[in-house]
Chain A
Amino acid sequence: MPGCNNNSRLSAEEVQELKQICRYVRKMIINTVADAGCGHTGGSLSEVEILVGLYFRIMNIDPHNPSWQERDRFVLSKGHASPGYYSVLANRGYFYEGKLADFNAIDSMLQGHPCMVKTPGVDMSTGSLGQGLSAGIGMCLGRDKRGLDFKVYVLMGDGELQEGQIWEAAMYAGFHKLSGLIGIVDYNKVQLAGTVVETLDLEPLADKWKAFGWKVLECDGHDIGEVVDTIQKAKRMSESGPVVVIAKTIKGKGVSFMEGKFQWHAKAPSESERKLALEEIDSCVE
């Protein structure tokens, strides 16, 4: 397993290892959502490489000590994509994988949307879109006042960027040239009830962030090597101010009948769909 907070480039072997983890996480997502009969499938599948890159390679964390003060922070601002998040946290050793079977069940530590009080490894409670970037900024302020030196990563949905609060936060971070803040946009082009383009388009998105004082990087959000390289670069660039990585992704990535379809935003697969999905994920081993 790749080490943490590793700044070197991925070797071909490491790329294969991470790809293997991504495949495994995708299967966990399918199983978690299918078992629970509910959950946000599409946006969980699109964020897999980003989360695996962060938790298995980039972030300075200790799963055995989730409240370690110097750890890097992560905020899943698009909190509905919790099945993907929980699958990665479980895989990374924050809690036992079997807990995923309780996702959304009564008394479960795995709530529909992330709860920092209930789930080890969750740094911020989210679920109402648009709030996570602000919380991330607050963490940066606290870090600076404490004289600590960690990074704060905030993952946002593209639809989520329609929330005004995101831009309040962007303006604040840009104006103050807040360092060590890395935003990531899961740019999967689809939101809850349709595509982003037909709902309320974001373009020119990179220009918008630039206008708010952010540096912008773009990458293919499903090429794990590129994802890791780009976020590492963003991390270095963030010394002098906030950086956003716009990761081009596909909603429902990895399961062809879910890809690009808003209908799979929050739909659980049936038993036959589960089987098909798992087979397809397994079969894509290069």
Chain B
Amino acid sequence: MKIGEMIAPRAAFGDALVELGGKDQEVVVFDSDVGTSTQTARFKGAYPDRFYQVGIAEQNMVAMAAGMSTLGFRPWVSTFAVFLAKRAADQVRVSIAYPKLNVKLNGAYGGIPTGKAGATHQSVEDIAVMRCMPHMTVVCPGDAYETEQAVYEANKFVGPLYLRTVRCPVPIIFDKNHLFEIGRAYTLHEGNQVTIISTGMMTPKALRAALELEKDGIKARLIHMPTIKPMDEEAIVKASKETGQIITIENHSRLGGLGGAVAEVLSEHAPCKLHRLGFPDCFGESGDNEAIFSKFGVNTECIISKAKEMIKC
């Protein structure tokens, strides 16, 4: 993976899972008939005896993985985020989160990019749902490189963890100097006039925004927040105190996700001006990913104009 190369995080996830499976015999994978989309089919190809095809039965799949984890295995459950976090939400909650079982949940097709499938498949509330679940850790990597690292870290981590991946190619922004750790924020660009906090596939877009702003003489700090829970509160408080204003951006609803989480931290510990970029309280729709991001104001240009606007006033 080279910086700037376009790679889909789901592909990196699929490959990482295969590699992980080679090193860790306790890893088993559960699929509900979407493995060729989520890329767990690669694991099936490599380790068919550790791949469980459950059929189109997400609720059964989630609780089955819970049962299997009680024997000490490390099950990875993978399906579209929209179904994992909502159709099977109660099974995740009662059968996995409550007893704190060691099951990893891959919410694939996170957010808007679903191959034009539209609102039924666009998961704009999975982070919110997973984030408020007790015992749940929520990870949302920025590119394919970080996704790969996150798979390893998630597997080492003991307890329920939700790993969100996206379908579309995303530019690589990280290289071997990046060490993903659960719960840590990463400052990717220094600045003191405004802070941009981004997560998931919005980070490459935010990085471009920070660099563009720099050309215009604006020093924007960029904080990448790959772990939504537990959140690196210190980085947020520091940004508030040092830059005085914050913009968040995410491939998710403005309600309850990164923006919501940051707002909670700020209002309690370091109030400052905050603008949340993300999906308004509405369903998505079919169309080119970038056209949708643009329609709902979730892209590089929106960060730039918002930052300029905030700095001016």
Contacts and interface: CB of A to CB of B under 8 A. Distances in A.
Query: Interface residues of B: mostly helix, strand, loop or mixed?
Result: helix
B91 A142 contact: no
Contact of B70 (A142, A145, A168): A142
A78 to B, nearest CB: 14
Interface in B62-85: 62-73, 75
B55 A126 contact: no
Most chain A Cβ neighbours within 10 Å, of B52, B66, B99: B99
A137 interface: yes
Contact of A169 (B50, B60, B90, B93): B60
B59 interface: yes
Interface string A120-136: 00011111101110111
B98 A125 contact: yes
The residue among B50, B52, B54, B68 with the most chain A CB atoms within 10 A of its own CB is B68
Interface residues of B, number: 30
A178 to B, nearest CB: 11
Contact of B71 (A132, A145, A169): A145
A124 B60 contact: no
Contacts of B60: 134, 137, 165, 168-169, 172
Contacts, number: 109
A146 B71 CA distance: 8
Nearest to A128: B94
A138 B75 CA distance: 10
Interface in A20-79: 69, 73, 75
A137 B99 contact: no
A145 B70 CA distance: 13
Of the listed residues B28, B67, B72, B94, the one surrounded by the most CB atoms of chain A closer than 10 A to its CB is: B67
A127 B94 contact: yes
A134 B71 contact: no
Give the secondary structure class of A's interface.
helix
A126 B67 CA distance: 11
Given A131-B91, A135-B66, A138-B65, A115 B71 contact: no
A171 to B, nearest CB: 7
B225 to A, nearest CB: 30
B100 interface: yes
A138 B91 contact: no
A116 B99 contact: yes
B57 A128 contact: no
A73 B67 CA distance: 10
A141 B70 CA distance: 11
Nearest to A152: B67
A168 to B, nearest CB: 4
Contacts of B72: 142, 146
B289 interface: no
A143 interface: yes
- Among B57, B70, B71, B75, max chain A CB count under 10 A is at B71
B71 A135 contact: no
A38 to B, nearest CB: 20
15 contacts: A124-B70, A128-B94, A130-B59, A131-B90, A134-B61, A134-B95, A135-B63, A138-B65, A141-B64, A142-B67, A145-B71, A165-B57, A168-B60, A171-B57, A172-B55
Interface of A: 69, 73, 75, 115-117, 123-128, 130-132, 134-143, 145-146, 148, 164-165, 168-169, 171-172
Interface of B: 28, 50, 52, 54-55, 57, 59-73, 75, 90-91, 93-95, 98-100
